[in-house]
Amino acid sequence: MNKNAKIYIAGHNGMVGSAVKRNLEAKGFTNIVTRSSSELNLIDGVAVANFFAAEKPEFVVLAAAKVGGIVANNTYRAQFIYENLMIQNHVIHQSYLNGVKKLLFLGSSCIYPRNATQPMREDELLTGVLESTNEPYAIAKIAGIKMCEAYHAQYGCNFISIMPTNLYGQNDNYDLEKSHVLPALIRKMVLGKCLMDNDIDGLRADLNKLPIEGVDGSFALETIMLMLEKYGITTVDDKVSITLWGTGSPMREFLHVDDMADSSVFLLLNYDAPDTLPSHVNAGCGEDLSIKDLSEIVRKTVDYKGEIVWDTSKPDGTPRKLLDVSKLKSLGWSPSVSIQEGIRRVVETY
């Protein structure tokens, strides 16, 4: 890849897309094309076709997607399958029509069956029933993988896919309704610590940066407290507690987004679409921990000393999600950021 090759990053403002952009720039790539969602609606097929015809990118990183945690996935099921399918269909097809040299499609580890053998190898795909809470999103991502494979088989397109584990890091989503587990944990404990320290200014500053259902720091303290209580952040008789979903027993693997970006760029530079299936590559650290253990790392890092309550009436989701990353490792890539160091960086930034 020439350092001046034209690279289009779809979703460059998102957590993964922005990390890929930083990684490419750090490696000296200078001709990166971006469009915000307000500039280019990837659900609009005509707009996408016009963009590709005008820009003619040589390489494409498809990081744009509608994403969210277990609540969002389970609530906005139609939006998750429709929007993700449309984004993928338009970008992948236009990449073919406009002679893109290589496309990298970013998926998710939720593509694997709920009860897949652990750790999950690439060939576990389509061997069982999916986790019901995120099935629409998973089906869309599976379709993206299969599109890349089909376009390679029929047209010889060098379209590849990477399937990351749970990601976290810079530019994560801290919306308590729609965020994934780790950013939700961090924000809840930061807000809980503000309550413990009677740091009302800190509480208001947090809400000014990211209002909760429209409630920002300018609202009356009583209104703010009611909103926090709705999301399980409460104080009773000077005792602060935060409520988390499920039992805390599910096992999850986490990869810092800077490592994810580095593995993505590594594949873009070193991995071509194979004729044998499965073609996609898992990306993770190869180690997992329980949500309860994760919460204790966050608690220690944030210095939250309040109570943690587990709401066992809420779903746990998939019991375990650990990727087999031997394929990526055999290609010559390994992660560099530990979960403890990664959380420290995130909390410090937050």
Known catalytic residues are 137
Cα three-residue angle 155-161-162, rounded to 5 degrees: 170
CA distance 192 to 244: 12
Handedness of CA 158, 45, 86, 261 (dihedral sign): positive
CA distance 198 to 227: 17
Where helices occur in the chain by DSSP H, the ranges are 15-26, 45-55, 70-75, 77-97, 135-155, 181-196, 200-209, 221-230, 257-270, 291-302, 326-331, 339-349
Helix axes 339-349, 291-302, angle to 10 degrees: 50
Determine contact, residues 161/105, Cβ cutoff 8 Å: yes
Instruction: Report the candidate in 102, 111, 169 with the shortest Cα–Cα distance to residue 136.
Output: 111
For the chain, the first-to-last Cα distance in angstroms comes to: 35
Where helices occur in 210-318 by DSSP H, the ranges are 221-230, 257-270, 291-302
CB atoms under 10 Å from CB of 34, counted, come to 16
Alpha-carbon Rg for the chain in angstroms: 21
Handedness of CA 209, 256, 184, 64 (dihedral sign): positive
CB atoms under 10 Å from CB of 44, counted, come to 13
CA distance 100 to 118: 36
